[in-house]
Amino acid sequence: MKNTDNFDHNIKIIQGRAGFWMGLAAYTIWGFFPLYFKALARVPAAEVLAHRILWSAAFLLVFVALTRAGAQLKSMMLNRRTLATLTITTLLVSTNWFVFIYAVAAGKVLESSLGYYLNPLVSIFLAAVFLGEKLTSRQKVAIALAAAGVGVQTVMIGRIPLISITLAFTFGLYGLIRKAARVPAVTGLAIETTLLSPVALGYIIWLFSADRLSFLALGKNIDILLLLAGVITVTPLILFGGALNRLRLSTMGIMQYIVPTAHFAWAVFAFGEPFTTGHLVSFGFIWAGLLLYSSESLGISRLVTQAAIK
C-alpha cells in the first residue's frame, strides 16, 4: 500500500513538473509575440490576420487528424447550437487577433499589454454580470482599481485606451462563452479558424488580383514568417492545454502575468515606446488591483487544497 502511495506521489510530481514546463513554454512563446508581429510590420494587419487564420486552420486540422479527434470535430460541426456559439467566438477571437496585430505594427504594444493585464479583472466582472457569480469585497476593489487606472490614462494621456479595452473585453467574452459551451480548446479553435478560412482565402485572392499581396513580394524572410503563423499560433495553445490538465488553476493564474509583463518590457525597453507619468499611474492602479485579486485567488486555492487533503 505504501509503495502504491509513493508511486502515485512520484507520478504527480512528474506530471506537475511537466505541466510547469509546458505552461512556462506556452506563456514564453506568447510573451515573444510582439517580436514576431513587429517583424511583419511591413505587411498590412488584415493580410497578416488572413495568413494566421489560414495556416492555423491547416495546422489544427492536421493535429486533429493525428490525435484522432476527427469524430469529435464532426459532431461539433453538426450540432447547430455549438456551431452558432463558435460563430460568435470566431468573431471575437478574430477581432482580438486583428487588434493585437495592428497594435504591434502601430507601435502601441504598451497599450496592448495593458489590455492583457486588465483581462483577468474583466473576466471576473463579466462572470458576475452574465453568470451571476458573486464578487467578493477584494474583487470589487480590484475591479474599481482597474477602472480607475483606465480613467487616469484617459485623463492624463488625453485619450481612451481603446486597444486595451477591446483586447480585454473580446478575450474576456471569448473565454466566458467558450467556458459556457464547454468546447475543447484545440478542436474549438480548429472549427473557428475553419469557419473564417473562406473569408481569409477570398481576401488573399483579392489582394493578389489587385497586385497588393505582400506574400511573395517582400522577400523570403517575410514569406517564412507568414507561413509560420499557424505553428506559432497553435503550438502555445497545445502546450497551455497540457499544462492546464497538470497544474492547479492558481499556478496558471500567476503564470499568466508573464505575457503582459513581457509585452510591457518589449514596448518600453526594446521598441522605445514612451512611458509617461500618466502610464505609470494608470499601470500602478491596475497592478494594485491584480495584486489584490491574485492574493485572494491564492488564498482560495489553499483552502480548496486543504479541504481536498482532509
Task: Give the integer Cα–Cα distance in Å for 122 and 79.
Answer: 30
Task: Give the integer Cα–Cα distance in Å for 252 and 123.
Answer: 15
According to DSSP, residue 269 is labeled I
pLDDT at residue 250 greater than cutoff 80 = no
The pTM assigned to this predicted structure is 0.87
Task: Give the integer Cα–Cα distance in Å for 57 and 183.
Answer: 17
Strand runs labelled E in 36-167: none
The sign of the CA dihedral 169, 172, 176, 182 is positive
Indicate the pLDDT class of residue 7, thresholds 50, 70 and 90: low
60 within 8 A of 189, measured Cβ to Cβ: yes
How distant is the alpha carbon of residue 20 from its chain centre?
Answer: 18
pLDDT tens column, 39-72: 999 999 999 999 999 999 999 999 899 988 888 8
Q: At residue 288, what is the residue type?
A: A
pLDDT at residue 281 greater than cutoff 70 = yes
Q: List the grid coordinates of 81.
A: 447550437
170 within 8 A of 96, measured Cβ to Cβ: yes
pLDDT at residue 87 greater than cutoff 50 = yes
> Scanning the structure block, which residue is given the C-alpha cell 474576456?
172
pLDDT at residue 177 greater than cutoff 50 = yes
Q: List the grid coordinates of 251.
A: 499556478
pLDDT tens column, 93-147: 999 999 999 999 999 999 999 999 998 889 889 888 888 888 888 889 999 999 9
Q: Among candidates 96, 59, 51, which has minimal Cα distance to 222? A: 51
Q: Spell 111-150 as b/e; 16+ CB within 10 A means b.
A: bbbbbbbbbbbbbbbbbeeeeeeeeeebbebbbebbbbbb
Please tell me the predicted confidence (pLDDT) of residue 307. Answer: 35
- Neighbouring CB atoms inside 10 A of 58's CB total 17
The sign of the CA dihedral 28, 29, 33, 37 is positive
